[in-house]
């Protein structure tokens, strides 16, 4: 209790003062009104909540460029968005990214976590490696994959001797979106696995042992015991990765493909970026932002429904 003695040393009363019974010293407003939280609250309101509110407002403005004075547009932006093919292909790309990418990520992460918590040989090395993607910035990850996926890069260098024709993975419309999703999987699986493993670690080893004696194998233990126990936690991790895919794919796309070729890798969040900063169609951009926000909420609700605790 050095802290306490420090305080006592600086004060005039004796350090031996015993803790007084709680109720007597209730001091008032200070206890009920968290005044010291005010600076953080204001900061948060100005830099985070403010911009989100502004985003919603701008979604209803007609604002075709920074230097133009904005006017009120009502639902016109949304009408334009819904009539635009680019928007629908962005919806399609984001849907593929999430409907295909997310389940693959979570199932693989779960299996990986299950494997790691069994403490097989080399599990320490594995745990160390799984963290790598969590440490690396999006630009660094993207640059490494940009080098590997270029026509003369590692992937084609490995495939050609095996008799496959390589392709320009990021420039070929049929592979570009897959490549972007693969990069996201690469960085997401390990991190999710580490998180899920931290939950699986707390599963009672004795129950597992008992199940093994009763003849249950790994596959059954993984899906029959660990999965149901960790289900709601996996739900939390799934939400985390869902939001990160939906909202942050813009940076990976910007760094790797700029949405191309054509619109084959334009995701919703990249569309928000491109409309705002490349085409300066601000009303349109923020209208998509609002839609993205709503989709995020809907998706979170859906994930909660599917993966809530059942036991």
User: Which of positions 257-276 make contact with another protein (CB under 8 A)?
Assistant: 269, 272-273, 276
Residue-level length of the chain: 311
| CB nearer another protein, residue 116 or residue 177 | 116
What is the smallest separation between the CB atom of 206 and another protein, expressed in angstroms? 19
Which of residues 188, 190, 259, 299 is near another protein by CB under 8 A? 190
Q: Is omega for the bond preceding 147 within 30 degrees of 0, making it cis? A: no
Q: Count the site residues for another protein by CB under 8 A.
A: 117
Of 73-81, 122-130, 203-211, 259-267: span binding another protein (CB under 8 A): 122-130
What is the smallest separation between the CB atom of 173 and another protein, expressed in angstroms? 19
What is the smallest separation between the CB atom of 310 and another protein, expressed in angstroms? 21
Binding status of residue 131 toward another protein by CB under 8 A: yes
Q: Which positions from 207 to 246 touch another protein by CB under 8 A, shown as an x/- string? A: --------xxxxxx-x-------------xx--x--x--x
Instruction: Give first-to-last CA distance, the chain, whole Å.
Output: 42
Binding status of residue 198 toward another protein by CB under 8 A: yes
| CB nearer another protein, residue 41 or residue 99 | 41
| CB nearer another protein, residue 83 or residue 297 | 297
Binding status of residue 303 toward another protein by CB under 8 A: no
**191/136 Cα distance (integer angstroms):** 11
| CB nearer another protein, residue 177 or residue 287 | 287
Alpha carbon of residue 101 to chain centroid: 12
Binding status of residue 164 toward another protein by CB under 8 A: no
Here the tokens at position 44 are: 């948060």
**69/130 Cα distance (integer angstroms):** 50
Binding status of residue 299 toward another protein by CB under 8 A: no
What is the smallest separation between the CB atom of 209 and another protein, expressed in angstroms? 14
**What own/partner pairs with CB < 8 Å and gap ≥ 24 does 111-119 have?**
111/222, 112/189, 112/190, 112/193, 112/197, 113/192, 113/193, 113/194, 113/196, 113/197, 113/200, 114/200, 114/218, 114/222, 114/226, 116/193, 116/197, 117/197, 117/200, 117/201, 117/203, 118/218
Task: Provide CB contacts within 8 A for 23, sequence distance 6+.
Answer: none
Binding status of residue 13 toward another protein by CB under 8 A: yes
User: Which of positions 77-106 make contact with another protein (CB under 8 A)?
Assistant: none
Q: Are 225 and 208 in contact (CB under 8 A)?
A: yes
Give the closest residue to 180 by CA, choosing from 138, 236, 208, 215. 138
Q: Are 184 and 101 in contact (CB under 8 A)?
A: yes
**206/212 Cα distance (integer angstroms):** 10
Of 76-84, 140-148, 168-176, 302-310: span binding another protein (CB under 8 A): 140-148
What is the smallest separation between the CB atom of 263 and another protein, expressed in angstroms? 19
Which of residues 285, 299, 303, 307 is near another protein by CB under 8 A? 285
Pairing of strands 61-62, 71-72: antiparallel
């Amino acid at each position: 209790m050095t802290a306490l003695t420090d305080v006592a040393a600086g004060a005039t009363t004796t350090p031996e003062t015993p803790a007084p019974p709680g109720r007597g010293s209730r001091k008032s407003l200070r206890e009920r009104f968290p005044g010291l939280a005010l600076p953080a609250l204001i900061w948060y309101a100005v830099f985070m909540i403010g911009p989100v509110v502004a985003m919603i407002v701008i979604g209803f403005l007609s604002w075709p460029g920074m230097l133009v004075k904005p006017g009120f547009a009502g639902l016109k932006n949304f009408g334009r968005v819904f009539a635009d093919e680019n928007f629908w292909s962005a919806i399609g790309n984001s849907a593929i990214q999430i409907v295909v990418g997310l389940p693959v990520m979570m199932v693989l992460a779960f299996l990986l976590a299950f494997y790691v918590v069994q403490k097989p040989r080399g599990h320490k090395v594995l745990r160390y490696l799984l963290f790598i993607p969590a440490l690396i910035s999006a630009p660094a990850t993207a640059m490494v994959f940009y080098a590997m996926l270029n026509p003369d890069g590692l992937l084609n260098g490995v495939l050609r001797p095996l008799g496959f024709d390589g392709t320009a993975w990021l420039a070929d419309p049929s592979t570009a979106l897959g490549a972007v999703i693969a990069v996201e999987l690469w960085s997401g699986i390990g991190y999710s696995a580490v998180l899920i493993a931290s939950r699986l670690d707390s599963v009672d080893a004795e129950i597992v042992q008992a199940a093994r004696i009763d003849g249950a194998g790994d596959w059954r233990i993984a899906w029959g015991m660990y999965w149901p126990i960790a289900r709601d936690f996996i739900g939390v991790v799934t939400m985390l990765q869902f939001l990160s895919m939906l909202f942050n794919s813009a940076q990976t796309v910007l760094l790797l493909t700029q949405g191309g070729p054509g619109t084959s890798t334009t995701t919703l969040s990249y569309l928000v970026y491109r409309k705002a900063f490349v085409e300066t169609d601000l009303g349109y951009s923020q209208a998509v932002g609002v839609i993205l926000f709503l989709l995020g909420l809907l998706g979170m609700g859906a994930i909660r429904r599917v993966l809530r605790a059942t036991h």
